Amino acid sequence: MAKNNTTENTNSVEDFINSIADEKRKSDFTSILKLLAKHLGGKPKMWGTAIVGFGSYHYIYKSGREGDAHLAGLAARANAITCYLGSEFNQRDILLSKFGKYKEGKGCIYINKLEGIDTDILV
């Protein structure tokens, strides 16, 4: 079975943040990261080369593939900040209806600007 590329590692979160070239994206990313750290507790860690994550859980698919993943994570992509929050949580649809301007993917949301969202919904 193939090895997962996105695994927890000892790479520096600070170095990753400093590598974000767009200053606005870096500022927004840092603000969301601080907010998550405050409410989730624990120290953020790198997962792979481009995701900063909090906590972890072990999963096993019906196919037998298994691994570990972060409970919540952030990535600073070229076009948006990606928040990995899981696809199922209480009052998901109600909360997202109040969240503001975002796009949705499978298990993640994409934020272009911090000003476009209600950060209280993240916590």
| Residue closest to 73 by CA, chosen among 98, 99, 48 | 48
Task: Give the fold, CATH level 3, of 13-122.
Answer: Aspartate Aminotransferase, domain 1 (3.90.1150)
**What is the structure's pLDDT at 94?**
85
**What is the structure's pLDDT at 104?**
87
Per-residue model confidence as pLDDT tens digits over 83-119: 997 656 677 788 888 888 999 888 889 999 999 998 8
- Give residue 122's pLDDT band: very low, low, confident or very high (50, 70, 90): confident
- Give residue 16's pLDDT band: very low, low, confident or very high (50, 70, 90): very high
**What is the structure's pLDDT at 121?**
81
| Residue closest to 71 by CA, chosen among 102, 92, 44, 94 | 44
Contact 52, 15 (CB under 8 A): no
**What is the structure's pLDDT at 86?**
66
**What is the structure's pLDDT at 106?**
80
pLDDT of 123 over the 80 cut: no
Per-residue model confidence as pLDDT tens digits over 36-82: 999 888 899 999 999 999 999 898 989 988 899 998 999 999 899 99
**What is the structure's pLDDT at 96?**
82
For 79-121, where are the E strands, in sequence order?
81-84, 103-105, 108-111
pLDDT of 1 over the 80 cut: no
